[in-house]
Structure 1
Amino acid sequence: MQHSRRQFLSTAASLAAGAGLLSSLPAAARGIIGANDKIRIGAIGINGMGWSDLTALLRNPEAEVVALCDVDKNVLDKRVAELAKQGIKVKTYSDYRKLLDDKDIDAVVIGVPDHWHCLMMTDACAAGKDVYVEKPIGNSIAECKAMVAAQKKYNRVVQVGQWQRSQQHFNDAVAFVHSGKLGQVRLVKAWAYMGWMHSIPVQPDSAPPPGVDYTSWLGPAPTRPFNPNRFHFNFRWYWDYAGGLMTDWGVHLIDYALLGMKASQPKSVMAAGGKFAYPDDAAETPDTLTTVYEFDGFNLQWEHAIGIDGGPYNRDHGIAFIGNNGTLVLDRGGWEVIPEKGKMEAVPRRDRVDDGLNLHTTNFLQVMKSRKLEDLHTPIQAGELVATVSQMGNIAFRTGQHLHWDATHQRFNEAAANAYLAKEYHNGYKLPKF
């Protein structure tokens, strides 16, 4: 795919220059994107966040959707109809590789289940596309590293969908932590208590719904009979495809815990939990989990609980930086500081003032035009760090061991844990190597 793409760019540019038609080529083919250029986007996986991401991108006048791809024709037809109501006509694909071969496309949105992120993102970079990829970037630590290597090799703009990094109040809260006013921060808590999530009833296997290319949906995951519980939204609760709440919400919230503490990878991690709320339902990942990460000078604690809203500080999600002088509590709606008695002044709650997803997608387009990768709000390297840390928590839970991380060799000291660093690929697919 890389060879054919490069051959096209060379041939098309030469012909266009000779014929005076260079301006009609897509921006990516010309190597630059001018102020008045349209950025032509293809979206892969358009049922959930992929569609939200695309919708946010299209709020920018320079963005134009030209192609959609989904293995569920029912979803594809629905989105085509929605765009048609806006006077937008697009090409459609069921095979993402054919979309990547489409020379009219400058950038792709990847909104598929987690187990497909790595292959699609690395293939897109090889095809000369810029990429907006949903979080978590990979379904294993090895996949995350491969994705970073692909971005570096092909020098593409890759934005990870951790859109909180584009919100002003999140950045203001981190700046307050960095000011030192909280005093020494010894403990950081991050949590997601999801009362709206309920038990998933056990359902029998069945034939895939008409219009669903289930073989393509499985991709590198193990071959299993179709089950409605594993499809669309609920894929998150199965180890074949994702990592439960730890990687679904954890990458958002642990990301800001790491930013606030200017931290990288932990020294050790331990975790305990299980299916305590719904022991007999269809999900595999734990509905209740506590994870403790050890860093130099502080601990980070992650908690999640499905079916409960009453999290710490009366919030169903958040991050708390607990310092000697006070505690800063941050969530998607705002932040405040709760003082230790007599040690500092309280900071009343400061509410959210902007829309993170809209700002995040705009940042992606801006960097596509400037090619200043350092201006990305969530570059692939940032996505790799927090996805790796979240995966560490799941590995500690699955092994039941206190794990110690060797940062030099990027491995655990415990052999049982290293078996989870990479997931076996199936159905003829192979983990990309760079």
Structure 2
Amino acid sequence: MKTVSTPGRRDFLKKSAALLALSSLGTLSTGFIGNTNPIKVAVIGTGWYGKSDLFRLLQIASCEVVALCDVDRKQLEEAAKLLAQRQPQASPPQLYKDYRELLRNHTLDITIIGTPDHWHALQTIAALESGSHAYMQKPVSVDVLEGEAVVAATKKYGKVVQVGLQRRSTPHLIEAKQAVIDTGKLGKIAAADIFCYYHMRENKTKEVQKIPDYFDYDFWTGPAPMRPYTGLPHGLHWRSFMEYGNGITGDMAVHMLDAVRWMLDLGWPHTISAKGGVFVQNTGQSNTADTQTAVFEFTHVTVNWQHRTWGNPVDPEYPWGFKIYGEHGMLAGSPFKAEFIPYPDGAIQVFDCLYEREKYPEDLTEAGMEIHAAPATRRHFQYLLEALRSNNEPNAPIYSSHISTASCILANLSMDLGRPLSYDPSNKLVVNDPEATKLLKRSYREPWVHPSGKYQ
């Protein structure tokens, strides 16, 4: 799917004419691009990953960070302080609580969306409407029709959206794909497992608290249902509630399902089924499933998902990852490594994670840094810049990312309804299932309006 050139894009391309020619997409390696005219950037959501994404971009391109936005004033001021340390000679960015005001006041090249999941669709669409391209964190949406709306808005405005499914930009996984999948070493492929056994679900009961004056909880909640305030929701807390996201499946399976889809060139699954619930960690307030299995059925390939937020992983070497099975062996992969294990015997081929500690020593001192993921994020931004330079799509384009996101959402719906689902993307409905079709769209809390009415 080619995107359409627009005046906004042409302006960006003129400004970025000094970009050095980038490597081919399969072997992209990061280095400072050396663009003469700084890229105008803003960040909406300045928590852990919003800052991390911004700092990875600053490592590879000259940027003018014109604005930062967050409903937590302390978090916003901390981000501005850290940015000043990274760019001591730069003018300080303007600070905002309301992302709409930010987008009205600035002409941007790239808007980074780093907010919790229930904001991704609305804020990305708003960025596109303002004339900006976007780098949005995964998932694309928290319901299927939100995702369809983001896809439609991207087409309407002719903008580029890169989604933070950075397994597609992970060097050792790219190498493994090229060496094993693309060369046919696995032979016929008919099955894959994807899984996560991290204990990442909050299992607590918290008392209602007074909302601090530096945090706008109503605005943070936005279109989601309003829960009692039990403390700052940043980090693990909000991820433990379905009101704000898609559970472990939407948070972790989306990465590995997307990786398998990318490696095997898969489109939409024709049938999705799932079972699970809160079976073990049922003493706290969290309402995300602590146990789930799901089956994504593609033509000729079945992908099986399993997560448990308790107990031991099936394979301690791969607590979060994928395993693709072929008649001649298995390709196992994770953010930390990949291995080709031939069948019935033969030498195991190992693909090691790339760490760039010497090249980017600041990674070592950044709070909450996922040093194994930093090289992938840098390359993910470089793919975005290459897409803008070449008038093409990035490597995690909006429609494919929507497929991965929506498939995980449909797995949750299947689990709740207790039956398999088949989604028809052409008609935006679940085949022969009016009840499930109604659940493709969540209710929004007023005054926020679901974008599916405007973008279809």
TM > 0.5 fold call:
yes
Inter-partner Cα distance in structure 1 for 2:72 and 2:343? 54
Post-superposition Cα deviations, 1:82-124, rounded to whole Å, max 9, x if no partner, equal 2233424211000001110123532211000111111111111
2:254 is matched with which residue? 251
Inter-partner Cα distance in structure 2 for 1:28 and 1:75? 33
Post-superposition Cα deviations, 1:395-432, rounded to whole Å, max 9, x if no partner, equal 11111212233354332232332222111111211122
Q: Is the 8 A contact 1:50 1:112 kept in 2?
A: yes
Larger radius of gyration: 1
Inter-partner Cα distance in structure 2 for 1:199 and 1:220? 23
Inter-partner Cα distance in structure 1 for 2:194 and 2:188? 18
Aligned residue type for 2:48: G
1:13 is matched with which residue? none
Aligned residue type for 1:346: A
What is the aligned counterpart of 2:383 among 360, 363, 382? 363
Inter-partner Cα distance in structure 1 for 2:321 and 2:157? 36
What is the aligned counterpart of 2:402 among 373, 379, 384? 384
Structure 2 counterpart SS, 1:58 = helix
1:352 is matched with which residue? 353
1:313 offset after TM fit, Å? 6.6
Structure 2 counterpart SS, 1:164 = helix
Inter-partner Cα distance in structure 2 for 1:61 and 1:29? 14
Q: Percent identity?
A: 29
Q: Is the 8 A contact 1:183 1:323 kept in 2?
A: yes
Inter-partner Cα distance in structure 2 for 1:69 and 1:405? 36
Inter-partner Cα distance in structure 2 for 1:380 and 1:349? 31
2:213 is matched with which residue? 210
Inter-partner Cα distance in structure 1 for 2:101 and 2:11? 17
Q: Is the 8 A contact 1:157 1:371 kept in 2?
A: no
Q: Is the 8 A contact 1:58 1:64 kept in 2?
A: no
1:198 offset after TM fit, Å? 5.4
Inter-partner Cα distance in structure 2 for 1:180 and 1:61? 37
2:308 is matched with which residue? 305
1:421 is matched with which residue? 440
What is the aligned counterpart of 1:324 among 324, 327, 340? 327
Unmatched tracts of structure 2, length 5 or more = 1-5, 19-35, 356-374
What is the aligned counterpart of 2:146 among 126, 143, 148? 143
Give the alignment of 1:157-172 within 5 angstroms.
157-172=160-175
Q: Is the 8 A contact 1:174 1:259 kept in 2?
A: no
Q: Is the 8 A contact 1:44 1:68 kept in 2?
A: yes
What is the aligned counterpart of 1:400 among 418, 423, 427? 418
Inter-partner Cα distance in structure 2 for 1:283 and 1:380? 30
Count of residue pairs the alignment pairs up: 407
Cα RMSD for the two superposed structures: 2.3
Q: Is the 8 A contact 1:110 1:134 kept in 2?
A: yes
1:309 offset after TM fit, Å? 4.7
1:191 aligns with 2:195: yes
Unmatched tracts of structure 1, length 5 or more = 1-5, 11-25
Inter-partner Cα distance in structure 2 for 1:408 and 1:379? 18
Inter-partner Cα distance in structure 1 for 2:445 and 2:329? 50
1:34 is matched with which residue? 17
1:275 offset after TM fit, Å? 1.6
Aligned residue type for 1:403: L
Structure 2 counterpart SS, 1:314 = coil
Inter-partner Cα distance in structure 1 for 2:384 and 2:11? 14
Seen in structure 2, the aligned counterparts of structure 1 residues 348 and 101 have a Cα distance that, compared at 3 Å, is same
Inter-partner Cα distance in structure 2 for 1:172 and 1:271? 32
Aligned residue type for 1:33: S
Aligned residue type for 2:348: V
- Judge which range, 197-206 or 151-160, deviates more: 197-206
Inter-partner Cα distance in structure 1 for 2:198 and 2:241? 17
